[in-house]
Amino acid sequence: MLQLIVNGIVLGSIIALAAIGLTMVYGVLNFANFSHADFMTFGAYIAFVLNVALGLNIILSFFIAVAIAGALGVLLDFLVWKPMRRKNADLVSLIIISIGLSLIVRNAIIFIWGGSTRNFDLPVQRGIEMLGVTITHNQLIGVGTAILFMVMVHFFLKNTKLGKAMRAISDDINLARISGIDSDKVIMWMWFIGIGLAGVAGILYGLETTIRPNMGWFLILPMFAAVILGGIGNPYGAMVGGMVIGLSQELSMLILPSEYKMGVSLGIMILVLLFKPRGLFGGTKT
Amino acid sequence: MIDYLVAISIIVGIYAIFAIGLNLEWGFTGLINFGHVGFLAIGAYTTVLMNQSGAPIWLSMASGVVLAAFFGLLVGIPTLRLREDYLAIVTIGFSEIVRLFLLNEEWLTRGPMGLFGFDRPFEAVIPFDYNYFLFILVFGSLAVIYLLLEKLVHSPWGRVLKSIREDEDVASALGKDVFRYKIQALMIGSAIAGLAGAFLAFNMQYINPRNFIPMETFYAWIIVVLGGSARNKGTILGAIIVQSFYTGTRYLQDYVPLASHQIAALRVMVIGLLLVLLMMYKPQGLLGRKEELTLGQ
Amino acid sequence: MVQEILKVRDVKKYFGGVVAVDGASFSVEEQTIKGLIGANGAGKTTLFNLITGYYKLDSGKIFFKGERVEQLPTFKKARIGMVRTFQLTKALSRMTVLENLLLGPKMQSGEHIHNIFLRPKIVADEEAGIVEKAIETLEFFDLMHMKDDYAGALSGGQKRLLEMARALMTDPKMLLLDEPFAGVNPTLAWKLVGRIKELKERGMTFLIIEHDMPLITDVSDTISFMNHGRIILEGPPEDVRQDPRVLDAYLGGG
């Protein structure tokens, strides 16, 4: 069972990282972005190309891939999301567009790299054995990096002007605009950071498991569950929500067949929506 | 050649039925159901399993439809009072759980091996190519469903659905029990999907969980959006176009140096792009009325 | 014997830590028009939402026609005769003006699927009656010429009329109007005032939120003044309007 807890922490930190970007978009732009998970996959594949095809070392590949992912987020804001904001598009149109984008990204990856699984070019290392539990190097790196980024996000939100502006917009976009905040610019940075974080999460997930086209989409339900559990628009809630979901899914193997892990996320989500729709920590939306 | 067209048309008809159910839920009532394929699966598997346990095929088919409607009720009760986007998320979860169940409960469904060896209506007595009968069955059903839905949609009941789509608050303020209507729309849409599932089983004579992935739901969505949501005629047109596109691209392989998985991927990319472009620039689809949608809020 | 059709007692509503409505109490007598005024943020629309069931009360009681109703969902309140309009007009844009009105009447048999197929004649007859009533109402509000246009194409003022027309189709006992004159040109507004008074003569009760002083003073029998979530003052329009507290709230600013 201890092993399950370890695995749960690893999975949870990945979900938590990805959920931060998802909850920010949800809170600020007020829609559920179904393509978010596929940017995790995107990040992993870009890092893979840099690392394996171009031979760059993993750390460099990591940072370049994350930057590219962030850039893609900004590009899409410019091409798709901003024009839709101008049109005052309704919630449903945005959701359907995000589904379209998710299909495009995921299948572009299949088109280019095919459906088989890939791996980063890293030496195989033995894990650490402790208390009857195996922790692989990749898992340690994964959790460590995730925590590092979460701390960076916290610092950013609390202490930088941009971070505070993001929180203001998340609470009330009109009020924020009146106070002089350039919402378009802040939103652009939000996409950069949100999608970039998705890229980070994807790379870590690829490290922990393997790289395959459905890897992100596979986590879409747990990600949404984390966001809803933590309160929509609440990045800290998303972090905690992610950990809870990750742990619950792994620990559920004690009583459920492992194939139904996803059902755990769904179940938690439904319970939250029925009994505490604002999430455990209260989001910015009802 | 005719045989080939008949075969393709049957698929068009099945997808048209599948999508018309979604159109009632989304086009007329405004419900974002991303789990529509789950009801397709329930219809298909119930029909096959019941028949394989000895029930006559018509009873099995009816059970498939009823069970699909019943699951529509089950899914609806906790979710239809929620915001529309929550419904989207939960319904995807629902259809995936259904698929996982079909994949893993091998004692019941034979898991990934799928099911084959079941009756089809009147199979023993049809003297000619069965496909011709299936064609009549599918399109006959489509016609009946179309007529029934058109009647419903143009009735006071349909009017309430539309008002819910436009603004639930107004519907409540006028005394309508919004939840009840949403449940009815979801149940009917799911029943229709269940019927499509039975027909799917008859057509392929073999079903397995891979037939019921979320992509099928999104095929229904592109059909509905392309044709013009809330236009049942448009849905049928959409089914024809999407299926032609699907079949047409199958032959690309002979002319283009791409592997089959790449063509499949390209196909889905086009559909994704179409969804994005339609919602951005022509949300009323092909047969929708432009004035209806430029009236914003 | 004059009845109090609506009684609101000590209603409170909190949002997070903020008190929106802080123990509001008042009554509305049957077949009267009561105006509800107050500065922005005083809690008027919130109070409306509480009365009609869009928000849940944190505490307090609401009586309609003598029965306690605060627990009832909005649609049930509409069914017993309490109908509201909205501050931001909610015209059902993708439906025609006529369709908007046809939606109004309660308990239409055609709204039940089984009736559509099993009792088509009854549904058709009822529908014909509803169309007749709708046409009358459209004429009453001078909207007849737009009946087949999409509601979304109407001007702001026409949408306000549409909302009221639609609400009337439900055959309400009491209409709660949230800023019905906002954005409506003066001629139309005064015409509306005339219509409201006419409807009062026919037996309807009104509770109206409004900022335009001349209008609200003219149309109301009594006015309640709300500030900081409480009803501070009630009385005949002329008295209330000249009360220093009211002048202060409107002219003092803040």
Question: pLDDT means per 10 residues in chain C (254 residues)?
Answer: 84 84 90 90 87 89 91 91 88 89 91 90 92 91 88 86 90 92 84 89 92 88 90 89 81 53
Q: Which helix (H) or strand (E) holds B135?
A: helix B130-153
Chain B residues whose beta carbon lies within 8 Å of the beta carbon of residue C54: 169
Q: Are C159 and C89 in contact, with CB atoms under 8 Å apart?
A: yes
Whole-number Å distance between alpha carbons of B190 and B149 = 14
pLDDT tens string B132-190: 999 999 999 999 999 999 999 999 999 999 999 999 999 999 999 999 999 999 999 99
C-alpha of B67 from chain center: 15
Query: Do residue A228 and residue B86 have CB atoms under 8 angstroms apart?
Result: yes
| Chain A residue numbers touching B84 (CB-CB < 8 A) | 91-92
> What's the number of CA atoms in the CB half-sphere (13 Å) around residue A132?
5
Q: How does pLDDT run across A204-215, given as a tens digit for each residue?
A: 999 888 899 999
Q: How far is CA B59 from the centre of its chain?
A: 21
Phi, psi of B131 (to 5 degrees): -55, -35
Closest partner residue to B280 (CB to CB) among A84, A104, A260 is A84
Helix (DSSP H) and strand (DSSP E) numbers for chain B: 14, 2
**Residue showing tokens 């033995």:** A126
Separation of alpha carbons A186 and A168, rounded Å: 10
**Residue carrying structure tokens 């393709």:** B8
Phi, psi of B145 (to 5 degrees): -60, -45
Query: C60 touching B, CB under 8 A?
Result: no
CB of B82 within 8 Å of any CB in chain A?
yes
Query: Of the candidates A276, A35, A93, which has an alpha carbon nearest to the alpha carbon of residue B82?
Result: A276
B265/A107 touch (CB, cutoff 8 Å), yes or no: yes
Please spell the DSSP secondary structure of A221-244, one letter per residue: HHHHHHHHHH-TT-HHHHHHHHHH
Q: Over the stretch A40-62, which tens digit does the pLDDT of each residue have? A: 999 999 999 998 888 888 888 89
Residues contacting C100, CB < 8 A, separation 6+:
C91, C92, C151, C162, C165, C166
Query: Of A71-80, B198-207, C140-149, which gets the smallest average pLDDT?
Result: C140-149
CB of C48 within 8 Å of a chain B CB? The answer is no
How many CA atoms, within 13 angstroms, populate the side-chain half-sphere of residue B136? 8
From the list B94, B265, B272, the residue facing A100 with the nearest CB is: B272
> What is the radius of gyration, based on Cα positions, of chain A?
18
Interface predicted TM-score (ipTM): 0.90
pLDDT tens column, B254-276 = 788 888 888 889 999 999 999 99
pTM of the model: 0.90
| Alpha-carbon distance B239 to nearest alpha carbon in chain C (angstroms) | 24
At A179, the amino acid letter reads: S
Tell how strand C59-64 and strand C174-178 pair up.
unpaired
pLDDT score of C253? 47
Is the CB of B93 less than 8 angstroms away from the CB of A269? yes
Strand-strand pairing, C230-235 and C222-227: antiparallel
Write down the pLDDT at residue A197: 93
Give the Cα separation of B277 and B288 in Å (integer).
15
The string of DSSP codes covering B60-72 is: HHHHHHHHHHHHH
**Residues whose CB is less than 8 angstroms from the CB of residue B136 and which lie 6 or more positions away in sequence, other chains included:** none
Label residues A36-59 b or e (16+ Cβ within 10 Å = b): bbbbbbbbbbbbbbbbbeeebebe
Q: Are A280 and A240 in contact (CB under 8 A)?
A: yes
Q: Which amino acid is at C20?
A: A
- State both tokens at C21: 């409505």
Chain centre distance of CA B58: 20
Asked if C207 contacts C174 with a C-beta cutoff of 8 angstroms, the reply is yes
pLDDT band at B62 (very low <50, low <70, confident <90, very high): very high
Q: Which of B94, B107, B276, B281 to mutate to test the interface with A (most CBs of A within 10 A)?
A: B276
Any CB–CB contact under 8 A between A258 and chain B?
A: no
**Cα distance between residue B21 and residue A94, in whole Å:** 22
Cβ distance C40 to C67 under 8 Å?
no
What token pair was written down for A225?
Answer: 């569950």
Residue of chain B with shortest Cα separation from A95: B85
Structure tokens at B69: 């409607």
**C174-178 and C82-84 beta bridge pairing:** parallel
C-beta of residue A170 within 8 angstroms of C-beta of residue A236: no
Average pLDDT over chain B, rounded to an integer: 91
- In angstroms, the separation between the Cα of residue B70 and the nearest Cα of chain C is 17
What distance in Å separates the CA atoms of residue A220 and residue A242, rounded to the nearest whole number?
Answer: 12
* Tens digits of residue pLDDT in B30-39: 999 999 999 9
Helix (H) or strand (E) holding C8: strand C4-15
